[in-house]
């Protein structure tokens, strides 16, 4: 942010890891890059994900990316998204129990619990698996997911060559984590394929099998039905896409929910309006009601609060693309292969696009539709936008609604000042601390 304030909206500089790279918050350049169907390859930064995510939708490009994007888009159809509300509710009730045990304390660090909640939700949505992360956060699979998120973040900001990296403890930690993750996902895929081939799907009321698999339709089930040029996806492709869905739908959503709760806790006037909206939607049983899709869509003010949270705290604060060919933009020639970092965190906090950018003002999104679409990009934009953004918004609406109806949030005592850090995901290095009181 400091460089951009000093040198302008677009800066070109040299870094030992990426050679020359461009960072931009210029609106026209953002529009050009986001809307381009040519410059869609991710930067070399994403190579660090390959051991985990392979050639899934996040890391692939070219015809592979286009083919997979086309078939996966159908998995996020409106009618399919509705079925996941039950998962949000079931796991959400468990989260409320955990938060209830923290109510009344002066300070509660919420981001770790929220992370386990989103991991439970995404596992059930992606694979149909109940891993009970909230109840057993130290299981091998849960720990391996956390380890990989931390290792990738470390590698992105490390200058170690691949050969030197192989001499570090993280290298062996990564290998172990990947073995556990891939073994778990491969086992679930085998189970699903067998059931899929036998056409012996269980009902939702049946007992889970040895892998904890329920027969609610999951993302993996839809991938098994997908065809590219008449052929089903290979087991490796299935694993890559499931792991990608797991990564993209876990820490990103956790980050957004945690920051939203912090913003609500520190803005009592916003919380009051939110609670009023909830009691209007649930006039008689606001404490315990399970929201329907229709009711979630009625939460207009909560939707604005989430969008303002995503403006101030975009879960992915920057993302990189590689120029596929030379680009002459406003008289400056940028060469093929140049790494371009698009910087939502910078755009979102620019007074050029958002008056009083450091203030939390949900009302700014009351009539936002269609305004400056490339200045507000918490889910990216254009051909490579986040395919799961509607899923994420539904999940955030559902869980924040439940929490606001159950608890009154307030700042931690003593007041907590977050230390933001942009890694692969925007985090607070010293946690996200608030206090909670049960509503009477």
Q: Contact at 8 Å (CB) between 380 and 319?
A: yes
Hey, where are the domains in the chain?
Answer: 2-438
- Phi-psi domain of 58 (left: phi exceeds 0; alpha: psi -120 through 50; beta: other): alpha
Residue 274: HSE in the Cβ half-sphere, 13 Å Cα cutoff: 28
pLDDT for position 207: 44
pLDDT value of residue 16 = 58
Predicted pLDDT of residue 1:
60
By three-state DSSP, how is residue 105 classified?
coil
Residue 25 C-beta-side C-alpha neighbours within 13 Å: 23
Report percent pLDDT > 90 for the chain. 73
The pairing of beta strand 19-24 with beta strand 339-342:
parallel
Long-range contacts of 279-288 (CB under 8 A, 24+ apart): 282/405, 286/405, 287/405, 287/406, 287/439
**Cα(391)–Cα(288) distance, integer angstroms:** 23
> Residues 25-53: what's their mean pLDDT?
91
Question: Which of 16-20, 220-224, 304-308 is the least confident region?
Answer: 16-20
Lowest mean pLDDT, pick from 4-8, 109-113, 374-378: 4-8
- CA-nearest of 318, 307, 374 to 345 is 318
Mean pLDDT for 129-133 is 91
The listed CATH number (2.60.40.10, 1.10.630.10, 3.40.50.1980, 1.10.150.20) that belongs to domain 2-438: 1.10.630.10
Residues in the chain, overall count: 440
Least confident of 11-25, 152-166, 228-242, 395-409: 11-25
Burial class (CB in 10 A: 0-12, 13-18, 19+), 101: exposed
Indicate if the pLDDT at residue 423 is higher than 90.
Answer: no
Cα 332 to chain centroid, rounded: 34
Q: Average model confidence (pLDDT) for the chain?
A: 90
Instruction: List beta partners, residue 19.
Output: 15
pLDDT at position 215 is: 54
pLDDT of residue 6: 63
Under the banding of pLDDT at 50, 70 and 90, the label for residue 216 is low
What is the per-residue DSSP string for 12-44? EEEETTTEEEEEE--HHHHHHHHH-SSS-PBPG
Distance CA 422, CA 428 (A): 9
Place of tokens 């189970």: 191
Lowest mean pLDDT among 32-36, 135-139, 401-405: 135-139
CA 271, CA 267: separation in Å to the nearest integer? Answer: 6
Residue 4 has pLDDT above 70, yes or no: no
Q: Is the pLDDT of residue 201 over 70?
A: no
Q: Grade residue 3 by pLDDT with cuts at 50, 70 and 90.
A: low
State the CB neighbour count (10 A cutoff) for residue 89.
15
As a whole number, mean pLDDT of residues 149-161 equals 87
353 neighbors 35 (Cβ within 8 angstroms): no
Please compute the mean of the pLDDT values over residues 341-355 and round it to a whole number.
93
Q: Is 386 annotated as a binding residue?
A: yes
What is the tens place of the pLDDT at every residue in 46-89?
999 999 999 999 999 999 999 999 999 988 887 888 889 988 99
Residue 426 has pLDDT above 50, yes or no: yes
180-184-186-187 Cα dihedral, nearest 10 degrees = 130
* Whole-number Å distance between alpha carbons of 427 and 251: 9
Beta bridge partners of 395: none
Q: pLDDT tens digit string along 252-283?
A: 999 999 999 999 999 999 999 999 999 999 99
pLDDT tens-digit readout, 301-320: 999 999 999 999 999 999 99
Kindly state the average pLDDT of the residues 107-118. 97
DSSP string, 68-87: HHHHHHGGG-HHHHHTTHHH
């Amino acid at each position: 942010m400091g460089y951009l304030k000093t040198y302008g909206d677009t800066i070109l500089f040299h870094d030992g890891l990426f050679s020359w790279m461009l960072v931009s918050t210029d609106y026209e350049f953002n529009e050009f890059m986001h809307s381009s169907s040519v410059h869609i390859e991710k930067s070399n930064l994403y190579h660090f994900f390959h051991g985990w995510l392979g050639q899934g939708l996040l890391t692939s490009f070219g015809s592979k990316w286009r083919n997979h994007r086309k078939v996966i888009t159908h998995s996020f159809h409106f009618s399919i998204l509705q079925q996941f509300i039950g998962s949000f509710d079931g796991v959400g009730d468990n989260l409320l129990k955990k938060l209830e045990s923290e109510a009344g304390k002066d300070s509660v660090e919420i981001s770790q619990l929220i992370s386990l909640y989103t991991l439970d939700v995404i596992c059930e949505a992606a694979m149909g698996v109940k891993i009970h992360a909230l109840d057993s956060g130290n299981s091998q699979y849960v720990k391996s997911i956390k380890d990989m998120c931390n290792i990738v973040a470390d590698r992105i900001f490390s200058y170690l060559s691949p050969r030197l990296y192989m001499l570090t403890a993280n290298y062996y930690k990564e290998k172990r984590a990947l073995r556990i993750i891939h073994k778990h996902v491969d086992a679930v895929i085998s189970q699903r394929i067998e059931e899929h081939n036998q056409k012996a799907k269980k009902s939702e009321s049946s007992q889970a099998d040895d892998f904890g698999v329920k027969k609610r339709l999951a993302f993996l089930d839809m991938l098994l039905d997908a065809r590219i040029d008449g052929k089903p996806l290979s087991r490796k492709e299935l694993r890559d896409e499931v792991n990608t869905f797991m990564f993209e739908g876990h820490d990103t959503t956790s980050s957004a929910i945690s920051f939203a709760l912090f913003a609500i806790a520190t803005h009592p006037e916003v919380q009051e309006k939110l609670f009023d909206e909830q009691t209007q939607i649930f006039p008689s049983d606001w404490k315990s009601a399970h929201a329907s899709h229709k009711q979630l869509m009625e939460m207009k003010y909560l939707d604005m609060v989430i969008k303002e949270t995503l403006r101030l705290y975009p879960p992915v604060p920057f993302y990189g693309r590689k120029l596929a060919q030379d680009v002459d933009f406003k008289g400056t020639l940028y060469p093929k292969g140049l790494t371009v970092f698009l910087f939502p965190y910078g755009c979102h906090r620019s007074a050029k696009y958002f008056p009083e950018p450091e203030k939390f003002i949900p009302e700014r999104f009351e009539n936002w539709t269609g305004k400056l679409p490339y200045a507000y990009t918490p889910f990216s934009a254009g051909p490579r936008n986040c395919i799961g953004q509607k899923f994420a918004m539904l999940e955030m609406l559902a869980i924040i609604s439940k929490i606001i109806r159950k608890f009154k949030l307030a700042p931690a005592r003593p007041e907590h000042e977050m230390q933001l850090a942009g890694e692969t995901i925007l985090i607070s290095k010293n946690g996200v601390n608030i206090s909670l009181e049960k509503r009477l």
